[in-house]
Chains A and B, each alone.
Chain A
Amino acid sequence: MWFIAVAAVANVVGFAAIILAIVLFTRGNGLDALTATRRKAVACTLCGGCLLAVGGQYMLQRGLYEVGSRTAAMSRLLGTLQEPLETIRIKTSGPDPLRERQDKTALRLFFRLTAGTEVACEVPGNVLQPLPEPGGYQATWQSVSDLASTRHTVDEGLVASPEQIAKSQTAARRIARLQDWRRVQRIEVHIVVYGTDSAPMPTSLEIALNDDEALRVYHGDKVNELSSPDKSGWTQAYYQDSSSVGQRLASWEDVDVAPHRLGVAVAGVLGAGVLLVLLGVGLVGFGRPPRNDAANRSWESTPPPSRPVAPPEVTPLMRDVAIGRPTAAFLLGVFLLVIAFPAIHQVIAHPQEELETFRRFVTAFPTKESCKSFEEQLARESDLAKTVRRSYQAVLTRTLHQGSRKVVVASDNTLFYPESIEFVTGDGFLSPHFAGVKRATMSPTDDAFGRFLTYLATGIAPAPLERSTYDADDPVAVFVDYKEQLRERGIHLVVLPAPCKETMFPEKLWPGYPTEAGPALNVDFRKWKQRLTEAGVDVLDVTDALWQAKSRVAAPLWLKYDTHWSPEGVEIAADHLAAHLKPLLGHYQRHEYTASRQPLRFVETYLLNMLELRTGTEQFPVMSHDFTQVSQDGQPVHAGDEAPILLLGDSFTEMYDAAGGGLAQQLMLRLGTGVQAMYQNVETGESRVALSTRPEALARKKIVVWEFWGSSLHATYWQPWEQVPLPPPITR
């Protein structure tokens, strides 16, 4: 920051000095007409200006080069982060029990994810493949995630129920790409050597991802060593990384640029420039002729004799104003109190956090993104804003049924999502007009001016613009392509668009909606279905079935304060999907699953959270629904890679899955065979991305059901409908 500031000042002063020298020179009508002193002044100012300009330009270009290089490195990094996470590399320093007693040594890894999930695993030494470099080992992420369990202790061994182990393994598997590694908040590493109480342990340990030194996420030094009380069981070394994973990730964004070899020389040049300019300006003053020397006035700037513009007595704004001083003082006092109080309160309440936030912002080179993120952080973390927001929203919602830009509150307090209202009322999502709007809304904007400045600084011609991924956005081609890819593997694709709440309950949203018109769909939805069917894609639309069931089933099919379906909605969808899948499965061995009804209370709901309101109030009582839990051997059932059906989905698939009542389990109950669920509660393409790193998940599949939120066909704020490749086939 200071570097650029000094460079900018040097540039401005340098160029100003050059202009001054030129002005002095031209006003003298040539060197001959100048006095000796003024000649020296011109020379000094010109030389000083040139030195400052040259030094300043060097510094500026250097600074901008660094910024440009960092930007380029960031782009490369973002590209790298999209790659699948395949291996982790471990490097130890000092004694190496892993090499000396490989079969007796194990590495214990513990990850805490940002969502609070903990993943722990004990990787036996024989799973770690030695690398040629001393102390270097490698393990596939697959093997690590397969070994994932919950937290363990040395004394008690692995302490986890099968359910916890499954949860932990799922969490580990979700870290499928390098990008996902950002979910890891903290890492702990231990090395255990069994069968001895005095094994020499490494002094430090590093972990890098995909064998990439730049992606080193952990560097811990040994902090402690313990052995079993009976002196024969084990020895364990603890390692601690002083920096958090977040800091490590931040350091990925650093880029090495050549050090300033010319630092001292540039400082010298700038110093000399400053001195010369000061000398020149001083000489201008000394060499100036007396002010009343009319003969010489032609070359100096001349102040005019008259007052330039007479200020008006009073401006229209302040004419006939009648405000008493006490009233003005009152306005001023209260205003200052109101605008200053929140910041002061925040600083007093959270001095460390505020200081850290400011420090982080000020020390980094300011960019559009950093300014925006800093601004959002201040607004988000303000205690007063949070308190006031909740109370005010509660009052508005209670008195006026007022929601927000993100939530619409219906007259019976059912909550709706405005983006889905846009889906049903907006332009057809297949229209070129909509495609243009989506591209314009979501395409990453390129700052040509910024790139031009970088070009000036580096002298390197800017790379051609990358083609926007939104150009590849095609909600038809993406399904056809996936179907073709799966067909080549002998797998059948079924596309299941999950209806949105606004499609199913338009009469709740607006009582005047003519229900005889059927479910509220985007004008292009049926056209989209037809195009897919014509292209040979098997689309199962459960909208009509759910619409008809709405009047038949007493229980609500959707959650009142959420965008997702209720357990009843899931079951009806599962009925239809199972009926559709059965003939496609052919002959298969049936398994027995047990079904039981379990109550479920919905304390946290998505849309109510968006309003920052809570359930349990008179207006929004806690909702409870019974759901059908599907279990096997007394445990909620979750099928693995061996299942013949894969359910790829989003949050609609995730609903009730952990408790054993999700769409996958309902299908298992109805079909009597395994249905593996793979879902990402994020954007549309994510579950396919996750699958692309899991070849074994597809190895035994006969059918893939791709479930997605129908409304996302129209969403401009989500990722484009891009084609994603399948994982490579497993060769046996």
Chain B
Amino acid sequence: MVFSSHLFIFYFLPAALLLYYVMPRGIRNLSLTATSYVFYGWANPYFLVLIAWSTLVDYCCGNLIYGHWTLVGPGTRGKDGDPRASNLQRKLFLTVSLISNLGMLLFFKYFMFAQETLNSLLVASGRQPFGILTVLLPVGISFYTFESISYNVDIYRGKAKPAIVWVTHLAEQQHPGRRTAQWFLELKALVAFACYITQFPHLVAGPIIRYQDLEWQIHLRKETLVKFGRGVFFFALGFGKKILLANPMGEVADTAFKAATLQWFDAWYGLFAYAFQIYFDFSGYSDMAIGLGLMLGFEFFKNFDSPYKSQSITEFWRRWHISLSTWLRDYLYIPLGGNRKGSLRTYINLLITMVLGGFWHGASWNFLIWGAIHGSWLGFERMLGKESFYARAPAVLRVAVTFLIVNLGWVFFRAPDLTSGMDYLASLLSLGGAVPATATLVRSILYSNDHILWMVVAAGIAFLGVDTWQLSKRVTPFRAVLALCLLIWSLVAMSTQTYNPFLYFQF
């Protein structure tokens, strides 16, 4: 289900909020989990089996890694009195969890890519290719598998404790001296973990939240009027970004990227449109996710921090999709050795991290190239002491050059395949040869009045605007009215638009 859809806004959300708030506090997690399953299963009910399986496996693995359950070898106790599983058990079940999560991710996301690559090799060597088995990509699988991995890796590293620990602790604290059946506690812990994995505000496109950051909220969050009001404010702004900015920019970008050839300025215009589309699409989604979380009492973390205002690529990655970049840093870059093994290894580690990060977005050579562009640039800036080579230029120029580099990366991110990406690059650099007269006709869509208007507004907000996070800190009655007007306007505009899912749903 898509946040910016008639069904979600007018049917699912009112029903989910009603169900959530009429439930006693003790079973709100269960209510939220149940509604989240409906939300997730809407795309394809079969996928519920996957997410349920993933939840169950990771819950059990977490308990086994921690030592709450003992299956292999005798358990011991740590210095703090916490149970500790045998090393064999810890390693065994961490491996099980990784295999389960990465296995799912590899199969559903990369199996077709592997088949196609193999086939192209077979064809190149003059052999018969295999028949391609089409595998549908379950929505949000990249996000929830990363969350599950972080849960078990953090338990393994001792940075987090499994869900059962909090549940048991709370039961003792809330009802001292009363014995609660263990199965009931286990069930409650499983629901808490399922609630973390599946809660619909951040299920299908992030932000990627770590269990320990959300754990106390799962049990002790408070739903307040102020939170709900701010949630509405966040949601309205995010929804406006998606409907009023990202979708029109998407029309421009789609037209430009579908054209066979373009004049160089049309190509740049189309590319900038895509840059704004992906930013407002994802940032809008993240705002809506934060807003929905607040309505349910959750407090998520910042995922975007005006990334196009960055003055270097290093800064860009501190501001763009923050939850992914920190995840990659903590679970990939640092385990690879980070910057602890010398300069050369640091550059290589950065490159590997970004290439895999690119590949995480989708099974295509284009994403690998996109990751490689960013990885190399990060390495280059690391070589210059985490500064860009244009660090001494005026701030406006630094922002402009960074935006330009980011845009070159977006060419490969957006193009459907490598050939199209290279062709588009050629159009940008005016290397595509003679441009036919028909290429001018795309301008009827590119430069329509509304598209020019929204392009200007999008650029203004991206480069000069205040981000939603700051804007919503102080919600005056005037701002509240403006936000609600924006929401209503966006809802009206939504009714004239066709089905338009978020870009990050496909990743």
A295-317 contact mask (Cβ, 8 Å, vs B): 1 or 0: 00011111111111111000111
Closest B residue to A310 by beta carbon equals B216
Q: Mark A345-373, 1 if CB is under 8 A from B, else 0.
A: 00000000000000000000011100100
In whole angstroms, how far apart are the Cα atoms of A328 and B225 in the complex?
A: 6
The complex places the Cα of A338 from the Cα of B490 at a distance, in Å, of 12
Indicate if the CB atoms of A426 and B259 lie closer than 8 Å.
yes
- The answer to whether the Cβ of B404 comes within 8 Å of any Cβ in the partner chain is no
Report chain A residues within 8 Å CB of B6.
Answer: 375, 378-379, 382, 385
- List B residues at the A interface (Cβ < 8 Å): 1, 5-7, 9-11, 13-14, 17, 41-47, 49-50, 56, 60, 68-71, 74-75, 80-83, 108, 131, 133-136, 138, 160-161, 164-166, 168-169, 172, 179, 181-183, 212, 215-217, 220, 225-230, 232-233, 235-236, 251, 255, 258-260, 290, 294, 299-302, 416-417, 419-420, 436-445, 448-450, 453, 469, 472-477, 480, 483-484, 487-488, 491-493, 495-498
A-B residue pairs, 8 tightest by C-beta: A328-B229, A517-B437, A303-B168, A311-B216, A379-B6, A331-B229, A402-B450, A446-B134
Which B residues touch A562, using CB under 8 A?
none
Known contacts A334-B484, A368-B44, A392-B496; A321/B437 CB under 8 A:
no
Within A269-298, the residues touching B (CB, 8 Å) are 281, 284-285, 288, 291, 298
| Contact in complex: A335, B438 (CB < 8 Å) | no
B226 touches A325 (CB 8 A): yes
Pull 24 A–B residue pairs with CB atoms less than 8 Å apart, ordered by A.
A301-B83, A301-B168, A304-B169, A309-B215, A315-B301, A317-B290, A321-B472, A329-B225, A329-B229, A331-B232, A335-B487, A371-B45, A379-B6, A389-B495, A392-B492, A400-B450, A425-B258, A425-B442, A426-B260, A450-B44, A464-B131, A513-B440, A521-B438, A523-B438
- When distances are taken between beta carbons in the complex, the residues of chain B under 8 Å from A331 are 228-229, 232-233, 475, 480, 483-484
In the complex, what's the smallest C-beta–C-beta distance from B76 to chain A, in angstroms?
10
- Stretch in contact with the other chain, from A94-102, A404-412, A573-581, A698-706: A404-412
Q: Find A408's partner among B47, B172, B230, B444 (CB 8 Å cutoff).
A: B444
- The interface stretch among A18-26, A208-216, A533-541, A549-557 is A18-26
Supposing A321-B230, A331-B232 touch, asked if A298 and B75 sit within 8 A by C-beta, the answer is yes
**Which one of A22, A317, A401 contacts B300 once the chains associate, using CB atoms below 8 Å?**
A317
- Asked if A606 is at the interface of the complex by the 8 Å CB criterion, the answer is no
How many Å lie between the Cα of A385 and that of B497 in the bound state? 11
> What number of A residues sit within 8 Å (CB to CB) of B?
109
- A339-B9, A450-B46 given as contacts; is B232 within 8 A of A304 (CB)? no
> Are A342's CB and B10's CB within 8 A?
yes
Tell whether, in the assembled complex, residue B60 and residue A433 are in contact, meaning their CB atoms are under 8 Å apart.
no
Q: Are B161 and A510 in contact (CB under 8 A)?
A: no
Q: Main SS of the interface on chain A?
A: helix
Please pick, from A19, A301, A385, the residue contacting B60 in the complex, using a CB distance under 8 A. A19
Choice from A316, A327, A405, A426 contacting B475 with Cβ under 8 Å:
A327
- Contact of A27 with B by CB under 8 A: yes
Contact A513 B441 (CB under 8 A): yes
Contact between B473 and A449, CB atoms less than 8 A apart: no
Q: Which B residues are in CB contact (< 8 Å) with A421?
A: 255, 441-442, 444-445
Q: Which residue of B lies closest to A332 (CB)?
A: B228
Q: Is A323 an interface residue (CB 8 A)?
A: yes
Assess whether B179 is in contact with A322, with CB atoms less than 8 Å apart: no
Least distance between B214 CB and chain A CB atoms (Å): 10
Q: Indicate if the CB atoms of B226 and A328 lie closer than 8 Å.
A: yes
Residues of B within 8 A of A512 (CB): 440, 443
Q: A302-B68, A321-B226, A335-B484 are in contact. Are A427 and B260 (CB under 8 A)?
A: yes
Chain A nearest CB: distance from B262 CB in Å?
9
Q: Which residues of B contact A306 (CB under 8 A)?
A: 80-82
Specify which of A308, A323, A327, A393 is in contact with B496 (CB 8 Å cutoff): A393
A26: chain B residues at CB < 8 Å are 70-71
Which chain B positions have C-beta within 8 A of A401? 448-449
Mask of A240-272 contacts with B, CB within 8 angstroms, 1/0: 000000000000000000000000000000000
